[in-house]
Structure 1
Amino acid sequence: MNLQRTVEDAPSEAQDQESSVYQEQKVSWLELFFDLIFVVAFDQLAKRLGQSPDFMSLLHFGLLFVAVWWAWAGNATFAARYGNESRTYRWGTLAQLVSLGMIALTIRGDLVDTGSAFALAYGVNRLIQTGLYVAVARRGPAVAAFAGRMALAFGTAAALWLVSAAWPGGSAAQIGLWCAALLLDVLTPVFIRNHSRHALPHEGHLPERVGLLQIIALGEIVTEVVGGSRQQELNANNLIPALAAIVTAVALWRMYFDQARSLPLLGARVDRRVEGMLAWLYGHLPFTLAVVVLSVGLGHGLSAAGSSKAAEDQQLVAAALALALLTLAFLRWNSLRVTRRFFPDRSLPALLVGAGLAVGLLFIDLDTFRVHLAVAALTTLVALIIATDPVTRRLGQLEEAVLERLGEGDQPDSVEDALEELPQTPSG
């Protein structure tokens, strides 16, 4: 206990310097509770989109989704950068939990009625995040270079959110202020990335948090499928497409977790290439969004089977699946780039071809039964290609090797250095 309090309450100057010392950081119970709030948030967003999937509703859905996702990302990246055991983080996260509960209450309704309440709740969430970074910035000049700038950006964004509550709900002025605030939040880490070398996210903790959020999003597919199936009789014509939708969720899970998810963060730590880390983190936004939209399309396709609305659901399924596969292709390419080597990778082409085939579903008139079977077959095939790709295993071995050396206090000079020490295979 004394050792833990020393690390927690009196950060040493050594923690602010570049060091090969690696300390394990597990996800805490509080963080798990925090992430579970997004089960409700994603469900509310899915129901919002399912009520009227027209163009304007899609725009509002996308805006609200980015805001909700960034509220999660702010907490997750802070914990991965500065630890999840301090009193400041624990109390700040509890306060954010309350604000997120209010956000979840206000994202389903019409923005005309709930826009101002949402803006107030989100503005409070940003103020709490600002306070967390202000507390960290007081530790010393090396930390303040990054944390101080983040606090300034979050504080400005919070002010924009709170001011927007004075405008009529859903008005162009209010939406414009929201977009400005989100752009400030999202772009600030990119613009100040050169100051982040003393605040790199933990290579094990952040991928674990990100993976938990993807599980929550994939679980939304099952929720929507069960909800959609309630509208139909339990017979083969409805049970088979429901089963196919669940198989799709499993295949997407396999595709995502077969990736070497820590490599871009390890590259940032070892090679000081922060851009790959940011690309990895930001790449998860479109993937999570695509999975939630896919859940809406699959679930509502079951409930609307045989009706004119089934065609709209097919469009959602095809577009969302294409976006999910494209994002996975980008994440794969980003991990390959960290190695600075050419690998005869067959997973990347498979993901790109799969995305193209998903786009093709936009132009084919199929009923719900055939759409779900086609999507399940496509995702399962791509998942099998990735799982059996020798490069997938090679990247996983490289990730484990770098993490093992960090755990032993022996940080490699580069990711390439660790790659050289791996046993040679036909793929490597």
Structure 2
Amino acid sequence: MGMAGRLPGRLLLRRENPGRTSFLELFFDLAFIFALTRLSRTLLDDHSLNGGFQVLLMLAALWWVWFVTAWSADWFDPRAPLVVALLLWVMFGGLLMSAAVPTVFENHAMVFAAVYVAIHLGRAAILLPALRGHPLLVRSLRVAIWFAISGVLWVVGAAVAPAREVLWALALVLEYSLARLRWPFPGLGRSTWPDLQVNGRHLSERYQQIFIIAVGELILVAGITYSESGLSRDSTVAFALGFVTAVALARLYLVPAGGRLGARIEAEGPPGSKLTLLAGYLHLVMIAGVLTTSVAMQMTIAAPGGHGMGQLTLAVVGPVLFLIARILLAAVVDGSRPWARLIGVPAIIVGGLATGKLPQLVNGAVVAGVLLLIVLFDAMPGLWRFIRRSGDSDAPDQRRHG
């Protein structure tokens, strides 16, 4: 499967290895919790269209750090000292980027950009010498060159405030597109899909873990907001709705295709890397949806009787983003078209518009109610199959006693 081999120090992981997530990878994910809390706080402070776009840029950058590192860890043995150093390097850099999030577009743009570039180029500086003489060297070199080129956009954007959003958006579009194009570079060619082949079950497990972390951030900030709200009756109801929303999002993520992504990637063989990459893009959208929902929940718990287009927009946009990306993931994994979710998207939009002039608590109840109904309708086919099987198993006994 893919390119096998070992380098001194057991750097490369054998492709037949089941690739279970290591403790260090889970430890690395902790940095993403901090990133999400900083991003949600920033969006809470400024949920205008411009503020939302800025948070999206920072989320896309932090997600790309996580994704490229998770992809790399799929190839390299997490027990190798060099890989341990790499993961700790990226983790510390991610924490620095996250700490700068609230003031990135004020005073600390250069911190965010410079650390982002240093993470990607530092990864190359650690791996390239160790890969000397191995076919993976060329693949890693292509990626490093492109990150050096996009790094210019990041640094210039940090230095030139009026062009910051445009240059950073351009850098992200370039990086995300180059991954899909397999990092082509003149004179070095482009990677083949076998070059990029991953352990599907390992990456699928990593996606599940990082999504649960995103849902955990929703519960965390909702709990903190509720604790600081005075524990009033309406705030308690809003907190309960937030919990229902979190449970519904987790259930809708895991069923039906959440557990089948890895098997589908494995079945595809080398072309499964395309599916892995697409799943990475869709997970970014789903996490953006959860983050947006988290901010809406905070606003509702803090002021359940308040009114505001900002909370209404976030409460609608968050679940809609999640559902659309989740529907697309199910379509590419097993070709399914979950009708309850397809209906749920316009239902949330209509419900949001209908409750636009009502208290935020009502809007939160409508969104949570729609998500809960989708979960119930999703479960109905399995329930009916269970009832039919139970009826069939009881039939012989009924005939014996009849």
| TM-score normalised according to structure 2 size | 0.83
Which residue pairs with 1:336 in the alignment? 334
1:326 aligned residue:
324
Instruction: Look up the equivalent residue of 1:150 and give its one-letter code.
Output: V
Change over 3 Å in CA distance of 1:348–1:137 after alignment to 2: farther
2:143 is the counterpart of 1:150:
yes
Name the aligned partner's letter for residue 229 of structure 1.
Answer: Y
1:372 shift after superposition: 2.1
Q: Residue 198 of structure 2 aligns to a residue in which SS?
A: coil
Partner of 2:364: 372
Please say if residues 351 and 367 of structure 2, whose CA atoms lie closer than 8 Å, have aligned partners that are also in contact: no
CA distance in 2, matches of 1:247, 1:258: 16
Q: Distance in 1 between matches of 2:17 and 2:331?
A: 28
Q: Contact (CA 8 Å) 1:241, 1:369: kept in 2 or not?
A: yes
Moved more, 283-292 or 77-86: 77-86
Q: In the alignment, what sits opposite 1:198?
A: 195
1:91-110 maps to which residues of 2 (within 5 A)?
A: 91-109=85-103
2:367 partner letter: V
Counterpart of 1:326 in structure 2: which amino acid? I
- Count residues in correspondence: 369
Change (3 A) 1:183 1:133: farther
TM-score calculated relative to the size of structure 1:
0.79
Question: Aligned-pair RMSD on alpha carbons?
Answer: 2.7
Task: Note if contact 1:203-1:262 (Cα within 8 Å) is conserved in structure 2.
Answer: no
Q: CA deviation at 1:242?
A: 1.2
Aligned partners of 2:372 and 2:151: how far apart in 1? 43
Percent identity of the aligned residues?
22
Aligned counterpart in structure 1 of residue 108 of structure 2, from 114, 136, 141? 114
Matched residue, 2:173: 183
Superposed displacement of residue 388, structure 1: 4.6
Q: Cα deviation per residue 1:139-180 (whole Å; 9 max; x = unaligned)? A: 523x34533322222232334334444x14xx1333333223
1:230-280 deviation per Cα after TM superposition (whole angstroms, max 9, x unaligned): 453424322122101101101111111123336455444433434333222
Could you tell me which of 242, 246, 264 is aligned with 1:245? 242
The AA in structure 1 aligned to 2:313 is: Q
Question: Is this contact kept in 1: 2:42–2:102, CA < 8 A?
Answer: yes
Are the equivalent residues in 2 in contact too, given 1:306–1:368 (CA < 8 A)? yes
Distance 1:159 1:259, change over 3 A: farther
- Any residues of structure 2 matched to 1:40-189 within 5 Å, and which? 40-109=34-103, 111-132=105-126, 134-135=128-129, 138-141=132-135, 143-165=136-158, 167-168=159-160, 171-189=161-179
Give the deviation of 1:87 after TM superposition: 2.5
Shift of 1:361: 3.0
Deviation at 1:30, TM superposition (A): 1.6
Moved more, 271-280 or 105-114: 271-280
Measured at CA, do residues 262 and 162 of structure 1 come closer, stay the same or move farther in structure 2, by a change above 3 Å? farther
Q: Secondary structure in 2 aligned to 1:83?
A: coil
CA 262–100 in structure 1, closer or farther in 2 if over 3 Å, else same: same
3-state secondary structure, aligned to 2:107: helix
Deviation at 1:6?
A: 6.4
Q: CA separation in 2, counterparts of 1:186 and 1:357?
A: 32
Is 2:29 the partner of 1:35? yes
- Is the 1:203–1:265 contact (alpha carbons within 8 Å) kept by the matching residues of 2? yes
Instruction: Give distance in 2, aligned partners of 1:262 and 1:239.
Output: 33
State the secondary structure of the residue aligned to 1:111: coil
